[in-house]
Amino acid sequence: MFDSIDPTQFPRSFVVNDPTNSDVLICIPRNGAEYPDFAVVWDYTADSLGVRDLADSSHMVSGIVTEAGFDDTWNAVKSPDSWDDGDPINWNQSFFNPADDSLVMASGNQLFYFDSENTQNGEDYTSIVGKHMWDFGEPEMVKLVRSVWPRVTAPIGVTIEVRVGGAPTTDAQIQWSEWLPFVTNSQDKIDVFVSGRLLSFDFRSESGPAWVLNGFDVNVIPQGRF
């Protein structure tokens, strides 16, 4: 990661807290980027690390964000209606939760309400979560993976793709299987045939509704220390 940080623009890196998701984002510009376009994400509740791409972001800040499109104001009352007739208006109500901070990101001349939808600026994007180079407590043992049981919270019928990889050492390239579809509430597991001393697992979606990977179980068969 450190080799990919732009040596000229790295002073524009910043750190921001995302209290809604219990995350801290370390935002950095990769080589060739003018502003941070990549973030290392620390979930301080689960004490886990992840990464995510960003639109070139010059700044982020957390705070209260009101609902878009709210127009119940005095100026919205049209003649010949008056304030006490016409269409009913619910006065004296808040269109935000004062206890709920949200994250806003500045990119160019735009502001983005962070993680408010399942698209990025109206476009689908790929989400990946994974665990890499897992030795299962026996780094010398070659292991064979035959099945993976993802534990996913998602609407019925959502398709998530899964792949499994193996490597002999930490400095070797991971040899991945093909991406295999897993349909929530329709499948219990996927079957694979991947071996290695160090095993890796990826789960992704390229569009669709939000989903949560609560964990996964695997069928691992020891193959020996050769």
Q: What is the mean pLDDT of residues 186-191?
A: 94
| Interval 10-58: pLDDT, tens | 999 999 999 888 899 999 999 999 999 999 999 999 888 888 888 889 9
Give ∠ CA 154-156-158 in degrees, rounded to 5. Answer: 65
Query: Is the pTM here over 0.75, yes or no?
Result: no
What are the extents of the domains in the chain?
A: 1-116, 127-224
- Look at residue 106 and tell me whether its pLDDT is greater than 60: yes
User: Rounded distance, CA 113 to CA 111, Å?
Assistant: 7
User: Rounded distance, CA 33 to CA 38, Å?
Assistant: 10
Q: Per CATH, the architecture of 127-224 is what?
A: Sandwich (2.60)
